[in-house]
Amino acid sequence: MPAATIVKKPRIKHFLLYVIASVASLGGLLSGFDTGVISGALLYINETWPLSTLAQGWVVSSALVGAVAGAAVNGVLADIYGRKKVIVATAAVFAVGSVLCGLAPGIGWLVAGRMILGLAIGMVNFVIPLYLSELSPQKVRGMLVSLYQLAITAGILFSYLINRIFALSEHNWRWMLGAGLIPAVILLVGISFLGDTPRWLISRRRENEAKEIFRKIEPESDADAQVREIKSTLRQSESKQKKIFESWMLRPIMVGIAVMFIQICTGINTIIYYAATIFKAAGFTDNIGALYASVGVGVVNFAMTFVAIFFTDRVGRKPLLYAGLSGITLSLFVLSASFWLGSAYGYDTKWLSVGSIVTFIACFAFSLGPIAWILISEIMPLAVRGTAMSIATMSNFVFNFIVALVFPTLLASIGESATFAIFGVVGIFSLFYTWRYIPETKGRSLEQIEQNWKKGLSVSAF
């Protein structure tokens, strides 16, 4: 009997954690869907209302205006009302935005609907990695937070499939944009049955509830000891008045902002947002062919995220970052060369372009995609974690807005080759920054990571 008990406990623990992670990660699916669906919808929106390159940039990037606002307020809301209530509110906002986009009577209404969706994207990309990180035992924390990125890639793939399904239907782009209502309702219902995180409950002096959750998700651990450790860390942080301005706290916040810069400014969302447009520029002559190529990108993005899920907690965050960034940088220069060969010499390089984009997506999916969110959920001090993650998430969407807005204009003014070469140069910088300034967080508790920042340890000593 004792042997049977030893076997059952991990199974119960993992089952409950996976249920929690799966439900919460529906927010990632919504974020991915509303990020990717505009790629195909834009082709048909242009047929309804012919748009300039700047107007196209605004239709795409208007979601990011809302995302900046969502990320800005989300930290404070999550610290006051809890992680769960913010997720519930986010699901409701996703539902409203999806309906408004699908029914938009004019381009102004469409932009407004995209801004509302952006508000939800900004909230969800902050609160769910935080929620999963604070619930997860350290041995599987990277894997469970990676499930959020897997959900994002599933949402992107889902959006590309939806684009293809409705491409030939009447009101095609309206059905594409409105389809996000379904997962929004599922998230709203599912999250209502889950609890909040132990760390937030402890910060609100609700230790008994926190212990109960610890016992459910990690039965073999000492819940009392975990609560004492968190209370000690929180007490030390709260004993200082101007927390956010202390030098040791600024360091992880700056690293978090830099990680978001690296994730966005290597060009990922130019490909996600404009995949169909890029494929048409590369030589695909019709919308349907470009949409099929986009689906292929979505499949690779989804499949390669499993690499991060299985290896993040085994080999660490930085080795995957090194491998991914190397592939990203090389593929960007190859993509640049393929457009140059096509424009300068007339070569048919569309499959070279497809290959480099697929390589880029594959490398991003197992490295920067999930690991950026894992890192910012791990490195921030507990007492200001909500605010600090909000700052990092907001910076992500500011960078995203700038890149998405100027990308069509860059293509029109300096061409595809030079544009992707610029992203390649950012990739070289990103490799150096990862080596010099990003710490390895594998195998360390959130409290240990905080103590290392407080001690001022170098990255190599972390």
Q: List domains and CATH numbers for the chain.
A: 12-461 (1.20.1250.20)
3-state secondary structure of 201: helix
Kindly tell me the burial class for residue 47, based on how many C-beta atoms sit within 10 Å of its own C-beta (0-12, 13-18, 19 or more).
Answer: exposed
Q: Does pLDDT of 241 surpass 50?
A: no
- Residue 36: predicted pLDDT: 81
- Residue 438: predicted pLDDT: 95
- Residue 271: predicted pLDDT: 78
Q: Does pLDDT of 391 surpass 80?
A: yes
Q: Which helix (H) or strand (E) holds 399?
A: helix 385-413
Mean pLDDT of the chain: 83
- Residue 9: predicted pLDDT: 42
- Residue 3: predicted pLDDT: 42
Q: Which helix (H) or strand (E) holds 369?
A: helix 368-379
* Mean pLDDT, residues 62-74: 82
- Residue 231: predicted pLDDT: 78
Ranking 9-18, 55-64, 231-240 by mean pLDDT, the lowest is 9-18
* Per-residue confidence band for 362, with pLDDT thresholds at 50, 70 and 90: very high
**What is the rounded distance in angstroms from the CA atom of residue 378 to the CA atom of residue 442?**
10
Most confident of 53-62, 132-141, 358-367: 358-367
Residues 380/253, Cβ–Cβ less than 8 Å: yes
* Per-residue confidence band for 238, with pLDDT thresholds at 50, 70 and 90: low
* Mean pLDDT, residues 177-205: 86
Q: Does pLDDT of 7 surpass 60?
A: no
**What is the rounded distance in angstroms from the CA atom of residue 72 to the CA atom of residue 122?**
8
Instruction: Extract the tokens encoding 88.
Output: 């519930």
Q: Does pLDDT of 44 surpass 60?
A: yes
Give residue 406's identity as a one-letter amino acid code: V
- Name which residue leads in pLDDT, 77 or 382: 77
Q: Does pLDDT of 21 surpass 50?
A: yes
Q: Does pLDDT of 243 surpass 60?
A: no
Most confident of 275-279, 320-324, 438-442: 320-324
* Mean pLDDT, residues 59-83: 82
Percent of the chain with pLDDT over 70: 91
Instruction: Extract the tokens encoding 320.
Output: 């995957």
- Backbone φ and ψ for 347, nearest 5 degrees, come out as -70, 150
pTM of the model: 0.71
* Other beta carbons within 10 Å of 219: 15
- Residue 282: predicted pLDDT: 64
Residue corresponding to tokens 């900004």 = 122
* Mean pLDDT, residues 131-142: 76
- 2-24 vs 26-48: helix crossing angle, rounded to 10: 20
* Per-residue confidence band for 373, with pLDDT thresholds at 50, 70 and 90: confident
Residue 180: closest CA among 27, 19, 305, 396: 27
Ranking 98-102, 108-112, 247-251, 272-276 by mean pLDDT, the lowest is 272-276
Cβ neighbors of 108 (< 8 A, separation 6 or more) are none
* Other beta carbons within 10 Å of 68: 19
Q: Does pLDDT of 1 surpass 50?
A: no
* Mean pLDDT, residues 293-305: 83
The total number of residues shown for the chain amounts to 462
- Residue 236: predicted pLDDT: 67
* Mean pLDDT, residues 327-333: 96
Q: Does pLDDT of 217 surpass 90?
A: no
* Per-residue confidence band for 393, with pLDDT thresholds at 50, 70 and 90: confident
Residues 172/166, Cβ–Cβ less than 8 Å: yes
Q: Does pLDDT of 5 surpass 50?
A: no
- 317-345 vs 368-379: helix crossing angle, rounded to 10: 140
Percent of the chain with pLDDT over 90: 28
Residues 355/397, Cβ–Cβ less than 8 Å: no
Give residue 233's identity as a one-letter amino acid code: T
**What is the rounded distance in angstroms from the CA atom of residue 390 to the CA atom of residue 72?**
6
Residue corresponding to tokens 């080999």 = 315
* Mean pLDDT, residues 20-37: 86
**What is the rounded distance in angstroms from the CA atom of residue 96 to the CA atom of residue 116?**
8
Q: Does pLDDT of 240 surpass 60?
A: no
* Mean pLDDT, residues 387-407: 83
Residue 366: closest CA among 326, 329, 311: 311
Alpha-carbon dihedral sign for residues 377, 216, 219, 217: negative
- Residue 363: predicted pLDDT: 96
**What is the rounded distance in angstroms from the CA atom of residue 202 to the CA atom of residue 205?**
5
Instruction: Extract the tokens encoding 59.
Output: 């239709």
Cβ neighbors of 56 (< 8 A, separation 6 or more) are 42, 46, 408
* Per-residue confidence band for 323, with pLDDT thresholds at 50, 70 and 90: very high
* Other beta carbons within 10 Å of 208: 9
**What is the rounded distance in angstroms from the CA atom of residue 279 to the CA atom of residue 282?**
5
* Mean pLDDT, residues 142-163: 83
